[in-house]
Structure 1
């Protein structure tokens, strides 16, 4: 999803780190020969600790051990391109992302007619859900800044409307992949449960319970929207939401798969991007992708 804060600081910690995976290459690994990973910061598994610029500029904060790289290594694909970039929307499939730290070319530029495997995780920034998380932060446990800003007196929820509007853009993105790579198997990932549906953990994460519950249900709506897109377009759906309960940002180090407000992680130890997957979350995403591909 979108990351707006502390991007200039990553220049000081940029590093190209070797990839790692716990998965062995399957016997039929040669089935896929050209894999392209597309998506936003949850696909890049954005990090300030193990950034790589092997595929994208530093402003993409792409992890050297994100799920795309783990899947590529597990499959043993001879050609892999990782276009994922923090802050990406569906627009950035065909338009570049530019900041003072660099430019990531349009993500579709990595697709070719011979691409035979594509993973895609996108939609959170189109709905502006990622940016909204920081709006919920408050010093008052009774305050509800997100509910006040996004839900009207008559119950209309602007974020729910945004999520519905993003659906057609994700469908169009899949159509664009098929136009450029007609023989590719396409896997669409959702976003796993980063916020518990029953509430938060104020003051550890300074978001009130009502706003945390609202955020949790918006993530559920995002999951449901992407599941509909997969069904509508006939692509494979990688359901990372299922099985992720109990691993939200309020859980202790070693249990949580997504970090909270503090920009520090225990997996790996070091600077983290708030409200994004840590290495345990990236590993879980990789496992679910490989399961969908029939690789255990």
Structure 2
């Protein structure tokens, strides 16, 4: 089957913050995210609605405020002629990347006596253990809503690239304790599990970027995600996909949906 109109929904792991070229700074959206690469390979038109920081709620029915810009619910931009829709979301529903960034900053700031009090405050809260059904329900509703707006669309859920692995070296790129790494990995598995349950419940397709990226986490010889970068330069890209990671997902999607 050939596809003519690709639509991308999702958060930063779909938008691609920090990857040049930037096509929408407020959304943290790259012109080389996996949706752009896929649409180009398919020769299809692309409607990229991804926004960094999005939740399933801001995809469905809540406006999202980012960098003095208000984005309408992503679903409102889905055209009825879309025939392929990709979705990467749910991690923010379970506070996945936010928790990782908070603990990375906490441990980095604790390394200097003059920032230690702030680091202690940031590190006071443990890794949250939220009900994965929060993400499952959101993803399920997104799939169902897309099918209502674009009845002819094939919906493909794309879960998250692996960030931390069992043997991820701890240091400046991954400034965590062993216990924190273990807890964050468990949180990541809950996020990926939500995709699997939602795909089964809705009959949507699922591309398991989490499995595809095994061996490519932070600190690996060929990482598909960035490590932690303190300061303004790393504010949007830390622990997010790099260009190689986006290319890997696009290639897998092309194998999955291509002729």
Alpha carbons of structure 1 residues 279 and 199: separation in structure 2 relative to 1, 3 Å: closer
Relative to structure 1, is the Cα distance of residues 245 and 144 closer, same or farther in structure 2, using a 3 angstrom cutoff?
Answer: farther
CA contact (8 A) 2:20 2:31 kept: no
What's the secondary structure of 1:98's corresponding residue? strand
Give the match for residue 132 of structure 2: 163
TM-score if structure 2 supplies the norm length? 0.85
1:39 aligns with 2:10: yes
Shift of residue 196, structure 1, vs aligned partner: 0.8
- Matching residue within 180, 200, 209 for 1:231: 200
Larger displacement relative to structure 2 (183-192 or 108-117):
108-117
Q: CA deviation at 1:96?
A: 2.3
Greater than 4 Å deviation, 4+ residue runs: 143-148
For residues 174-194 of structure 1, give each alpha carbon's deviation from its aligned partner in whole angstroms, at most 9, with x where no partner exists: 111111111100000000211
Retained in 2: the 8 A contact 1:47–1:271? no
CA gap of 1:112–1:259, structure 2 versus 1, over 3 A, is same
Q: Tell me which residue corresponds to 2:217.
A: 248
- Alignment coverage as a number of residue pairs: 246
CA–CA distance in 2 between the matches of 1:92 and 1:204? 30
Displacement, 1:113? 2.1
Aligned to 1:67: 34
Which whole-Å deviations, capped at 9, do the CAs of 1:36-77 have from their partners, x for residues lacking one?
A: 111000001111643113xxxx21110110000001001111
Structure 1: state its 5+ residue gaps.
Answer: 1-27, 152-157, 265-269
CA distance in 1, matches of 2:120, 2:178: 9
Change (3 A) 1:208 1:166: same
* CA RMSD, 1 decimal: 2.7
What's the CA shift string for 1:8-30, capped at 9, x where partnerless? xxxxxxxxxxxxxxxxxxxx6xx
Determine the structure 2 residue equivalent to 1:20.
none
Q: Is the 8 A contact 2:81 2:150 kept in 1?
A: yes
Report 1 or 2 for greater relative contact order, CA contacts < 8 Å, sequence distance ≥ 6. 2
Q: Map 1:190-269 onto structure 2 (within 5 A).
A: 190-252=159-221, 255-262=222-229
Match of 1:103 in 2: 70
Conservation of the 8 A alpha-carbon contact between 1:167 and 1:225:
yes
Matched, 1:50 2:21: yes
Scaled by the length of structure 1, the TM-score of the pair is 0.75
| Structure with a larger share of its residues in helix | 2
Tell me the CA shift for residue 221 of structure 1.
Answer: 2.1
Unaligned 5+ residue runs, structure 2?
A: 112-118
Say which of 124, 132, 141 aligns to 2:99.
132
Q: In 1, are the aligned partners of 2:42 and 2:258 still within 8 Å (CA)?
A: no
